[in-house]
A and B are shown apart, each in its own frame.
Chain A
Amino acid sequence: GQSLEQPSEVTAVEGAIVQMNCTYQTSGFYGLSWYQQHDGGAPTFLSYNALDGLEETGRFSSFLSRSDSYGYLLLQELQMKDSASYFCAVRDRNTNAGKSTFGDGTTLTVKP
């Protein structure tokens, strides 16, 4: 099975950098994904790490270390609109389902 742990809340100020961590236990997965969800909205895919290392997309970067069973999402130049919940997820490799298991999410609050 798969399980993922994320801190429940993070607070940061506008313009700052914030890192949201994700540790996981898995019996096999393709890679680590990150999703953003604003209150009342749909989850939106942000990034995916298939291999160890850093992936960068604009202000967002995501990191994976398979040997440490650990990943993080880094947000730079924080904006008020970044206030949302952020979920990490792994996609199951051990079945033909390809289903994803999600962490419980980190709620990011950006303050002026």
Chain B
Amino acid sequence: NAGVMQNPRHLVRRRGQEARLRCSPMKGHSHVYWYRQLPEEGLKFMVYLQKENIIDESGMPKERFSAEFPKEGPSILRIQQVVRGDSAAYFCASSPGTAQYGYTFGSGTRLTVV
């Protein structure tokens, strides 16, 4: 049973370009969460999605960032017109429901904006 799959592992973008990060949850998991981690810092919540629905996007910057989880295919975190401050590790986690247990995290995408 494959875990949470994220790709790419590393992504380099020039300022002003778009970044697309993909996340396929574990089989049987219908809840996807995106977190951002800056160096030497903790995980900051960005958005929570279920299939075709954004449940909570309170941690998403109001501009340039968007997320989706379509009926078919992976969840996508999209960052338009990237800036240097977007450089971070972006982790996706999934869970089977709003169960009161832990997440399973993917290996993350390290975004570097040059």
Binding site for B on A (CB under 8 A): 30-31, 33, 35, 41-46, 48, 50, 87, 89, 91, 95-105
Could you say which residues of chain B place their CB within 8 Å of the CB of A91?
Answer: 100
Known interface pairs A96-B55, A102-B42, A102-B43; A45-B107 also in contact (CB < 8 Å): no
Known interface pairs A48-B100, A104-B42; A43-B55 also in contact (CB < 8 Å): no
B94-113 vs A: 1/0 string, CB under 8 Å?
A: 01011111111111100000
Could you say which residues of chain B place their CB within 8 Å of the CB of A97?
Answer: 48, 55-56, 98
Known interface pairs A33-B102, A48-B100, A98-B31; A87-B107 also in contact (CB < 8 Å): no
Known: A43-B43, A100-B45. 15 other contacts (CB 8 A): A30-B100, A35-B102, A41-B107, A42-B106, A43-B91, A45-B103, A45-B104, A48-B101, A48-B102, A50-B100, A87-B42, A97-B56, A98-B48, A100-B103, A102-B45
